[in-house]
């Protein structure tokens, strides 16, 4: 009787701990992507948009004789 109660409580604690863990840990380090597909899609879109403009301002830092 007591063993069943202990096992049930352990399972409840594991489930609650897993819920708390996944609230803050939504990134898979081994696959290097977000577990939430919507969040992964949004990240990829933002990264692609940033890649298109990355380095555009670098030419403004060059001397006028070098700028084209």
Considering the entire predicted model, what is its pTM? 0.57
pLDDT above 70: residue 68: no
**Reduced 3-state DSSP string for 15-35:** HHHHHHHHHHCCEECCCCEEC
Task: Identify whether 66 is part of a domain.
Answer: no
Q: Residues 28, 36, 14, 21: what is their CA dihedral angle, to the nearest 10 degrees?
A: 70
Q: Is residue 56 part of a domain?
A: yes
| The pLDDT of residue 60 | 82
Total domain count, the chain = 1
Asked, for residue 35, whether it belongs to a domain, the answer is yes
Query: pLDDT tens for residues 18-60?
Result: 999 888 888 988 999 998 899 999 999 999 999 999 988 888 8
Full domain range(s) for residue 15: 2-61
Q: How far apart are CA 42 and CA 33, in angstroms?
A: 12
């Amino acid at each position: 009787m007591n063993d069943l109660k202990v096992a049930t409580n352990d399972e409840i604690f594991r489930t609650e701990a897993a819920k708390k863990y996944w609230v803050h840990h939504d990134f898979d380090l081994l696959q290097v992507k977000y577990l939430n597909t919507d969040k992964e899609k949004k990240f990829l879109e933002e990264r692609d948009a940033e890649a298109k403009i990355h380095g555009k301002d670098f030419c403004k830092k060059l001397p006028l004789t070098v700028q084209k």
